[in-house]
Amino acid sequence: MELLLTTFENRTKDFLSVLRTELGGIRTNRPNAQLVEDLKVDYFGQLLPVKQLGSIGINPPREVVVTAWDRNAAAAIAKAVQNSSLGITPTVDGGAVRFQLPPLTAERREELAKLAKAIAEKIRIRLRGARDEANKEVAALFDAKELSEDQKFKAKKQVQEITDATNQAIEDLVAKKITEIHE
């Protein structure tokens, strides 16, 4: 039973990690390295993320600078940024790629907030599926007479407590992201 609960708790932590990564890719009014670090760049016939081709820096208030380790990669990085969904036109300055993030409009902020909520809902759906699987495993252990009825109810209660805590963490992460979007 402990193994089942530990496994379930680890899965919920993985869900939160995925959510943090997904939310990190959503643009806010502040520049963030996560916006571009995973963009795929066609570099000598291979698709590589930007973070493998250079270092990403932030120049306040809204400038992002990607310094390519190989000067030849700068043009490819600029092309990847321009073709991305960010809607930004970068400039190449030697081995560096610079771009300014324009201020977000109220309409765009609402779209991004909806996107954050949609991502969170997908994670919640996966969490509910994992909870249902854990409860089925508990029922199977009970049917196999490996758990008493008290242990079964206790295990289901613990699974639900982990689920509730994870749902609260999801809510907190989304609320924080929406606050950042509206700053």
Residue 10's pLDDT band, with cuts at 50, 70 and 90, is: very high
Q: Where are the alpha helices (DSSP H) in 84-148?
A: 106-143
pLDDT of residue 103: 83
Place of tokens 């907030």: 113
CA 163, CA 133: separation in Å to the nearest integer? 12
Taking only the tens place, the pLDDT of each residue in 109-168 is: 999 899 999 999 999 999 999 999 999 999 999 999 898 999 999 999 999 999 999 999
pLDDT of residue 36: 84
Q: How many CA atoms lie within 13 A of 41 on its CB side?
A: 25
Residue type, 123: I
Confidence (pTM): 0.77
pLDDT of residue 113: 93
Domains for the chain: give ranges and CATH numbers.
2-24+105-182 (1.10.132.20), 33-100 (3.30.1360.40)
Count CB atoms within 10 A of the CB of residue 94. 9
Q: CB of 35 within 8 A of CB of 25? A: yes
CA 79, CA 32: separation in Å to the nearest integer? 19
Handedness of CA 126, 128, 129, 135 (dihedral sign): positive
